[in-house]
Structure 1
């Protein structure tokens, strides 16, 4: 991704106008690199949240099946012949 397309580029560009043009270019590259790192971090963070949510759903389904199996076993054990 081009660093000009990064979010916050325009605001950052305005904030560094007092610097020399070469320094501005360098600061913009650093800003873009940091944005990419944070975006990757956020994606990892949300992936962990999604995995946790999926794990909770799976555990609920397993518990529900175990409870159903237990109830079925009790019903079979108390049945009169």
Structure 2
């Protein structure tokens, strides 16, 4: 309940990063739309599903709650470099 993971993509490789969740949940896999080597999309331009998944990731990995652009930008800055 307290372990989660996120996958990052670099070329053909997939890297799985495990983390300790801040809150208990049965969800184990989380989505980080910035965990790839593609173009960096502004938070405001994320699809609704990507934004919601990223908000969940921010809440459970970093304890940042809220779906506002400001909260998600703060979370994005705290993400360790995957590449």
Same fold, TM exceeding 0.5? no
Structure number with the higher strand fraction is 2
If you compute each CA radius of gyration, which structure gives the higher value, 1 or 2? 1
Structure number with the higher helix fraction is 1
